[in-house]
């Protein structure tokens, strides 16, 4: 899954690709890593960026003061797929809405299986 953002929700046992949802006005704790090249996780309207590095875990706390959809990017050049490393960060009005946004989500094991199939097909 090179050149994509993979978001795992450990408490819900689900994961999403290139889209993350969380409730507005609630601090969010991101644990960021990479399986390959170094990238920079950045949601410009919400604040700081942090590096995603192979073999390391970095951490970032953000909060969206308003509900809305925010653009997320990789903020540093990392190779040929860099320009497509975009994602949507969706801050929902309340916690109940946050749970319903994950309609495109899959279980973590399903996405890991997809990762293997994508690699085998040469599409990653």
Q: What is the pLDDT of residue 116?
A: 43
Q: Are 2 and 15 within 8 A, CB to CB?
A: no
Instruction: Give dist(CA 91, CA 103) in Å, integer.
Output: 15
Q: Along the 124 residues of the chain, how does pLDDT read in single tens digits?
A: 678 999 988 888 888 899 999 999 999 999 999 988 899 999 999 988 999 999 999 999 999 999 999 999 999 888 888 888 999 999 999 876 666 665 455 555 555 554 443 333 233 3
| Angle, CA of 96, 90 and 42, to the nearest 5° | 140
Instruction: Give dist(CA 81, CA 98) in Å, integer.
Output: 29
Q: Are 72 and 38 within 8 A, CB to CB?
A: no
Tell me the domains of the chain and their CATH numbers.
6-121 (2.60.40.420)
């Amino acid at each position: 899954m090179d050149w994509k953002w993979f978001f795992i929700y450990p408490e819900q046992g689900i994961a999403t690709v290139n889209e993350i949802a969380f409730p507005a006005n609630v601090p969010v704790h991101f644990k960021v890593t990479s399986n390959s090249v170094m990238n920079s996780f950045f949601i410009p309207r919400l604040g700081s960026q942090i590096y995603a590095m192979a073999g390391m875990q970095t951490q970032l706390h953000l909060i969206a003061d308003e509900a809305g959809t925010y653009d997320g990017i990789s903020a540093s050049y990392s190779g040929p797929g860099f320009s497509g490393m975009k994602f949507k960060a969706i801050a929902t009005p309340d916690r109940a809405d946050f749970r319903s946004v994950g309609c495109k989500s899959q279980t973590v094991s399903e996405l890991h299986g997809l990762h293997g199939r994508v690699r085998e097909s040469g599409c990653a």
